[in-house]
Amino acid sequence: MNAQKIALLTDTGTNTPEEYISRYDIRVAPLLITFSDGITLRSGIDITAQQLTDRLVHEVPKTSLPSPDTIRQLFEQAKNDGYESAVFVTISSGLSATCQTVRLIASQMEDFPVVVVDSLSIGVAAGMVVMAAGRMIEEGVSFGALQAALDAVARKTWVFFSTTTLEYLRKGGRISEPVYRLGSMLDIKPVITCNQSGHYVVARKARGWERSLTTELSLAREKAAGFKVVRLAICCSDSCSGLFDSLEERLRNEMDELGVEVESLVRSGVSADLLVHTGPDLVGIGVEGVR
């Protein structure tokens, strides 16, 4: 437990790496995955990313926010464990109602103040906001200052990701039917990001998978160019994990050419709930401007 007794919580949509979950004693609320037979599974608890991938061959399920009871229980458990307040960093409110639900439950907690931070992002980029929260709490940033400080981190953190197929983004309603048809016909792979309100938008289009990865690197470079120091993250689904080393080398080379210092670079997998909407092949890059 940290000296300030501030608990840190998040949801599985942030893909926070396990090493940081352990380091900062992060409590994680699982997003839910529901199949056509009515069975609902908790992401990361009842179903792994690989198990979800295996089932995608037969069915694309639905996802939903964590159970309000689960969120309440996580707060109560943290309080019972001796924490006196909490910070909850959520997946973007533009993509999920998780943030709104957490705020509602937090407002009902007695004698347990909670700061709720909308990451305005998804995947490991949202996880970078979680990791920033852990560092700030550990470094002694006061509870009262955390909201503004973490909102500022969220505003200067970006995600760029692409997939080998647009099928799942279409089925999940993330892209339109015309975009899907045209993209599939011309082998267009849009690189997706989150805008300032936390909604998915196309950052740039590329033709072919390899060019989409190169485009991700270019976009990351453009964001990093505004800073002297950055933190970076790479996320790959299991089927793309062989790309980690080459992507890290290329990303570090981009930063070296810019003269930008890389304070840290983390790697992350992709949670089952996110794979529902992207499919089994996903590669993403997160950039956080430090100074």
CATH number of the domain bearing residue 220: 3.30.1180.10
Q: The domain spanning residue 20 has which CATH number? A: 3.40.50.10170
Would 1 be classed as within a structural domain? no
Q: Are residues 101 and 49 in the same domain?
A: yes
Give the pLDDT confidence score for residue 172 in this predicted structure: 67
Would 266 be classed as within a structural domain? yes
Would 79 be classed as within a structural domain? yes
Give the pLDDT confidence score for residue 174 in this predicted structure: 67
Q: Which residues of 135-161 are buried (b: 16+ CB within 10 A; e: fewer)?
A: ebbeeebebeebeeebeebbeebbbbb
Q: Are residues 131 and 171 in the same domain?
A: no
Q: Are residues 70 and 119 in the same domain?
A: yes
Q: Are residues 266 and 179 in the same domain?
A: yes
Q: Are residues 89 and 174 in the same domain?
A: no
Q: Are residues 83 and 28 in the same domain?
A: yes
Q: Are residues 20 and 148 in the same domain?
A: yes
Q: Are residues 178 and 106 in the same domain?
A: no
Q: Can you tell me the distance from the alpha carbon of 210 to that of 12, in angstroms, rounded to the nearest whole number?
A: 28
Q: Are residues 13 and 147 in the same domain?
A: yes
Spell out the SS3 assignment of the chain: CCCCCEEEEEEHHHCCCHHHHHHCCCEEECCEEECCCCCEEEECCCECHHHHHHHHCCCCCEEECCCHHHHHHHHHHHHHCCCCEEEEEECCCCCCCHHHHHHHHHHCCCCCCEEEEECCCCHHHHHHHHHHHHHHHHHCCCHHHHHHHHHHHHHCEEEEEEECCCHHHHHCCCCCHHHHHHHHHHCEEEEEEECCCCCEEEEEEEECHHHHHHHHHHHHHHHHCCCCEEEEEEEECHHHHHHHHHHHHHHHHHHHHHCCEEEEEEEECCCHHHHHHHCCCEEEEEEEECC
- CB pairs under 8 A, 24+ apart, for 100-107? 101/65, 101/66, 101/68, 101/71, 102/29, 102/71, 104/68, 105/68, 105/71, 105/72, 105/75, 106/75
Residue that finishes a domain, picked among 136, 154, 172: 154
Would 265 be classed as within a structural domain? yes
Residue that finishes a domain, picked among 134, 154, 174: 154
Q: Are residues 14 and 150 in the same domain?
A: yes
Give the pLDDT confidence score for residue 191 in this predicted structure: 94
Would 72 be classed as within a structural domain? yes
- Total domains in the fold of the chain: 2
Give the pLDDT confidence score for residue 173 in this predicted structure: 67
Which residue range(s) make up the domain with 148? Answer: 6-154
Give the pLDDT confidence score for residue 165 in this predicted structure: 85
Would 210 be classed as within a structural domain? yes
Distances (CA, A) of 247 to 123, 236, 243: 17, 10, 6
Q: Are residues 103 and 173 in the same domain?
A: no
Would 132 be classed as within a structural domain? yes
Would 40 be classed as within a structural domain? yes
The residue type at 104:
L
Q: Are residues 112 and 20 in the same domain?
A: yes
The residues of the chain scoring below 50 in pLDDT are none
Give the pLDDT confidence score for residue 188 in this predicted structure: 85
Residue that finishes a domain, picked among 125, 154, 183: 154
